[in-house]
Amino acid sequence: MACLLKNGLSLPGSCETIMSSRNKGSLLSVGAVQVADSRTNDFLGKTLIISDQKGFRGPNAKASRPLSVNAQASFCVSRSMRWWEKTLKPNMIEIHSTQELVDGLLNAGDRLVIIDFYSPGCGGCKALHPKICQLAEANQNAIFLKVNYEEHKPMCHSLNIHVLPFFRFYRGAEGRLCSFSCTNATIKKFKDALAKYGTQRSSVGEEAKGLEESEMLALSSIGKISRKLPMESALIHRVEDLVMGMGMGMGMGKAQIGIQETSELLVA
């Protein structure tokens, strides 16, 4: 099942809630409660009413009565629960920053690059992970860039990622080839894309395109990447070529002025 990204996703696991209560000026330690619900933050900072049960009585308690406590929650994921780190292959690379993603696409040459957007709390992502690892092992010339949605939400929002698991295929100067969401039930969609785009190609002398220009500008606007990127230089050259073509019949002086003014606008 795919995960829709509306209010964010919680990490799996239990939460240990440490509770205490003040009784006549003294601090009464009550104990710990294990909460299995993944939405553990719903009660953080609120008052909980717990009936007086065995294991929750103070040493001088005389009668059974409700106990009011303030809850504080701490959350951690054990190494055994980090399924997204298991069975990774050498061509599967975890992305730690937006700049790493941009560089990974630009430096891949003609190799097929697959961006795998996932979340630790997404059941569909967890179920699909072993098969993606198998496909990565069978297609070692492809590069799999793994993006943790929980750690890179602003970047994912700028790239219009709204459902998980989600995949994007890129190659060299062609840029983005396709994008789609799939689960275990629709894994054929992923395999078909591999069969279609996985054949090694050659485009000697052509620069890799990477992300779309609109996506680069969106990431730049939120400060996730520097504005001084190769994309801007390439964009300026494209505009220069366009202006030069338009200025063929009006004299080089005016065309050159148009190039200069357009370049200044792009790098302002």
pLDDT at 86 over 60: yes
Here the tokens at position 145 are 């860039």
Distance CA 159, CA 229 (A): 17
The CATH superfamily assigned to 83-222 is: Glutaredoxin (3.40.30.10)
pLDDT tens track for 91-109: 999 999 999 999 999 999 9
Q: Which of 3, 15, 76, 125 is catalytic?
A: 125
Higher pLDDT among residues 131 and 226, named by residue? 131
Q: Pairing relation of β-strands 175-181 and 163-164?
A: unpaired
pLDDT tens track for 171-206: 999 999 999 999 999 999 999 999 999 886 766 667
Distance CA 183, CA 170 (A): 20
Of 27, 15, 19, the C-alpha closest to 55 is 19
DSSP 3-state helix, strand, coil percentages of the chain (rounded to 5)? 35, 25, 40
With cut-offs at 50, 70 and 90, classify the pLDDT of residue 24.
very low
Q: Which of 15, 122, 156, 182 is catalytic?
A: 122
pLDDT at 76 over 70: no
Contact 120, 11 (CB under 8 A): yes
Comparing 60-64, 89-93, 219-223, 228-232, the range with the smallest average pLDDT is 228-232
pLDDT at 3 over 50: yes
Position 105 scores a pLDDT of: 96
pLDDT at 19 over 70: no
DSSP 155-207: HHHHTT--EESEEEEEEGGGEEEEEEE--GGGHHHHHHHHHHH-S----TTPP
Here the tokens at position 79 are 């190494």
pLDDT at 78 over 90: no
DSSP 25-57: TEEEEEEEEEE--S-GGGGTTSEEEE---TTS-
Is 125 noted as a catalytic residue in this protein?
Answer: yes
